[in-house]
Structure 1
Amino acid sequence: MNSKNTLLVVLGAIVVIALLFGGWFLFTYNGIVAAQESVDGQWAQVESQYQRRADLIPNLVETVKGFAAQEKDILENVTRLRSQWSEASTQEEKMEAARGMDSALARLLVVVENYPQLRSNENFLALQSQLEGTENRVAVERMRYNDRVREYNTRIKQMPASIVASMYGFTSRSFFEADKGAEVAPKVKFT
């Protein structure tokens, strides 16, 4: 083999290696972006369900207010936390506001136990049914969100993808865990 052929073989090998590396790099980068978009899309679903719940709160508060006027502090707290949810601008702020609403709604629904006439009110029963369905949806969407976060975080921490992730500033996402002190269970049901 002459030097010209050797040079062509070496150049060919370099091109093949560069193409393989470039393909791996693009595949890895695109996979991380897809995982990040999956997390963001799932967060939108969580947000949508919490917004649905926040939209139910004014009606719930008004219905309870007519029967339980002496529970003013709890009603004001629920309303204040609903406003915090609406005003939150970051994902972390929304998570914190949602945890606060979980706890406040739990306290409100415990108060309802003391008012049998409220528990038989048609408006309250309809709102309670909608809230129960929404709480179940919230639990499902939060679980799906956490699954996507786990997949994304795993992807950006595995070698050699972690190199690409650190080069482009991909960082771990936070899980959305229910407030450990909240008394709300995924299902809210009264009889």
Structure 2
Amino acid sequence: MKRFLPWIIGAVVIIGIYSWVKGINNTAVTLNQNIEESWGNVQTAYQRRNDLIGNLVNTVKGAADFEKSTLTAVIEARAKATSVTVDPTNISPEQLAAFNSAQSGVSSSLSKLLVSVEKYPELKANENFLKLQDELASTENQILTARTRFNEAVKPYNNHIATFPNSIFAGMFGFQKKAYFEAVAGAEKPVEVKF
């Protein structure tokens, strides 16, 4: 029995190390899946906004002889935003910055559209337009929530793969730090309101 004792101890140590490393990997995989799910929710919220923008533009076109440059800017920004894709398995700061920039272009052109609508009282009274405007406001809140939840999903993953000794094994298994959503450049400045 004594001659098998070193083999038994060795086997227990190897099984213990295997279980520990497997736990590090499996936790990272689970957290990464949470990030991918959160990213899917972000994309779904932005897709909903893009769908609503098309309906909004058509409603505005049909209800008023509207400034064509404003409508064109909204349509072009929407097209640019839908062309930017981010790989959820390898979300880099550069990819998020490009995505964020394209989406902020949509927000900017959309806000110009909604401001210029103020000149058209018959459009402001249009029931379809008012519904779409409410839906758009609701969607913007959903986007904010989805982006916040995405950042909340990234934090535990980044913490898990960055802490020692997990960082050693995470690098060996190919796990990399994920980027957070950040505010658009210039968002720290207060909005100037003119009457």
Change (3 A) 1:108 1:180: farther
Q: What's the CA shift string for 1:60-118, capped at 9, x where partnerless?
A: 11223343622x32321211121123222325254432222122222222222333332
SS of 1:118's partner is: helix
What amino acid maps onto 2:145 in structure 1? V
Distance 2:99 2:185 in 1: 17
TM-fit CA distance, 1:8: 2.2
User: What's 1:166 paired with?
Assistant: 171
| Shift in CA distance, 20/42, structure 1 to aligned 2, threshold 3 Å | same
| 5+ residue gaps, structure 1 | 184-191
**Cα deviations by residue, 1:26-46 (Å, 9 ceiling, x for unpaired):** 111000000000000110011
Is residue 2:14 matched to residue 1:14?
A: no
Supply the AA of the counterpart residue of 1:105: L
* Alignment-derived partner of residue 123 in structure 1: 128
- The structure 2 residue matched to 1:67, chosen from 60, 64, 67, is 64
Aligned counterpart in structure 1 of residue 105 of structure 2, from 96, 100, 103: 100
TM-score, normalising length: structure 1: 0.84
Structure 2 counterpart of 1:160, one-letter code: P
> How far apart are 1:53 and its partner, in Å?
0.6
2:147 is aligned to: 142
Corresponding residue to 1:32 among 25, 28, 31: 28
Percent identity between matched residues is 37
Q: How far did 1:182 drift?
A: 6.0
- Relative to the length of structure 2, the TM-score reads 0.82
Q: Name 2:92's counterpart in structure 1.
A: none
Partner of 2:193: none
Matched, 1:44 2:44: no
AA matched with 2:60: V
Q: Is the 8 A contact 2:100 2:184 kept in 1?
A: no
Partner residue in 2 for 1:189: none
CA apart distance, 1:163: 1.1
1:37 maps to amino acid: Q
Q: Does 1:151 align with 2:156?
A: yes
Once superposed, which parts of structure 1, at least 4 consecutive aligned residues long, lie more than 6 Å away?
A: none
Greater Cα shift, 135-144 or 58-67? 58-67
